[in-house]
Amino acid sequence: MELSIQDQSFLDSFEHVKEYDIDEYHKNKLNLFMLRVNANEFDYNTLIDNLLDPVIFYSVSRNVQSKYANKPGTLHKKAVSKFVEYCKNTGELGELLLYAFLECHLKAPKILSKLELKTSTSMYVNGADGVHYLKLPNGNYQLIFGESKTIEGLPDAINSAFKSIYEFKNEINSKGNEKSGINYEKSLISDNIMKESFSKKDIDFITKLIYPSRDSDFRVDDAFGIFIGYEVKILKEDKKLPNDEFVDKLKSKIEEEVERNIGKIIKEIDKNDLVGHSFYVYVLPFTNLDASRKKVMGGVT
C-alpha cells in the first residue's frame, strides 16, 4: 500500500530543527520543525503552495481521486469545497498538517481520514483526525491515530492533546459519558474500507491490521501521532537583526521552549496511563497564531 502523498515537497516548507527521544527506549519521538524564514518572517506563502496537493489527498478518498484522475480541476474543486465546509465546523489547520507530516516525514500511509468519511457537519466530530499505519523495522506494525491541537500556549496545547487521547482511548468525555473512541474508529475503517480504491490484497492487509487473526505473521499495536501548533513571540527589536542572526536566535528560542516542555509530555503520558503506546509528536511554532492560521487556510482553499 503506497503513500497517498507521492510528492514530498511539503517538507520543503520547513527547516527540521531537531528530533528528540522522549523516552529511554526510543519509541516516543518529538520532531521540531520551523517554517522557512524570509526577511525575518515565517514564509507562510511557501507553506500554502506546498499544501495545495496534500489538501486533495487528505479531503477525498482514493476512490474519488481515481474517478476524477483525468479532471484535476473538478477534483480540486470537490476537495476544497469539502475541506472548507469541514473547517467551518472545526477550524483545524492542524489536522491537515499532521496528515502531511505523518505521510511525508514518518512515511506512514493514510488508511482513512475523518474528513473523507463525513457526510454532514455533525458526524464523527469526536474521533481521531485520521488513521495511518507504520511498518516497524522488526516487521510488526502500528495503527497510528491522529490528534492535533493549535493553541497559543505550548503547555496548554500539550495538556489538551493528551486529555483528548485519554478520552479517545477510554471512550469517554470529560463528564464520563461514553462516546466514539478507539474501537468505534476501527469499526468505521472496517465499514468504509470498500469505499476506498484499494486492491483486494490491500483490503485483506488493512483488515488484518484492524482485527489481527491467529494466522497473522505480525503484531499490531495502537500508537498516536500528535501535531501541536503554538505561538512563538518575536520581539520587534529582534526583527531588525541581520537575517542569519535572527534565524539563529529564533531557532534557539523555540528549541528552549520545546525542551522545557518535554518533561510535561512525559508526565502527561504517565498521568493518563498511556505508557504502552508509541507517540510521534510534531511541533510547529507560528507567529500571530490566529491570523496566520486564517492566512494559510484561506490560501489553501
Structure confidence by residue, pLDDT tens digits, 261-288: 999 999 999 999 999 999 999 999 999 9
Instruction: Specify burial of residue 50 (Cβ count, 10 A radius: 0-12, 13-18, 19+).
Output: buried
Indicate the pTM of the whole model: 0.93
Query: Residue 193 — pLDDT band, cuts 50, 70, 90?
Result: confident
Q: 210-219, 220-229, 236-245: which range is least confident on average?
A: 210-219
Q: 168-182, 200-214, 234-248: which range is least confident on average?
A: 168-182
Indicate if the pLDDT at residue 92 is higher than 80.
no
pLDDT digit string, tens, across residues 132-180:
999 999 999 999 999 999 999 999 999 999 999 999 898 876 555 555 6
Query: Residue 127 — pLDDT band, cuts 50, 70, 90?
Result: low
Indicate if the pLDDT at residue 90 is higher than 60.
no
Distances (CA, A) of 72 to 69, 76, 200: 6, 6, 26
Query: Residue 124 — pLDDT band, cuts 50, 70, 90?
Result: very low
Pairing of strands 220-231, 141-150: parallel
Q: Number of C-alpha atoms within 13 angstroms, CB side, residue 89?
A: 15
Task: Output the pLDDT for position 123.
Answer: 44
Mean pLDDT, residues 178-191: 74
Task: Output the pLDDT for position 86.
Answer: 67
Between 84 and 285, whose confidence is greater?
285
Mean pLDDT, residues 282-295: 94
Distance CA 169, CA 165 (A): 6
Whether the Cβ atoms of residue 202 and residue 259 lie closer than 8 Å to each other:
no
Distance CA 72, CA 139 (A): 37
Task: Output the pLDDT for position 157.
Answer: 96
Query: In the chain, which ranges are E strands?
Result: 14-21, 29-35, 37-38, 41-42, 110-113, 130-135, 141-150, 220-231, 279-286
Mean pLDDT score across all residues of the chain: 88
Mean pLDDT, residues 74-86: 82
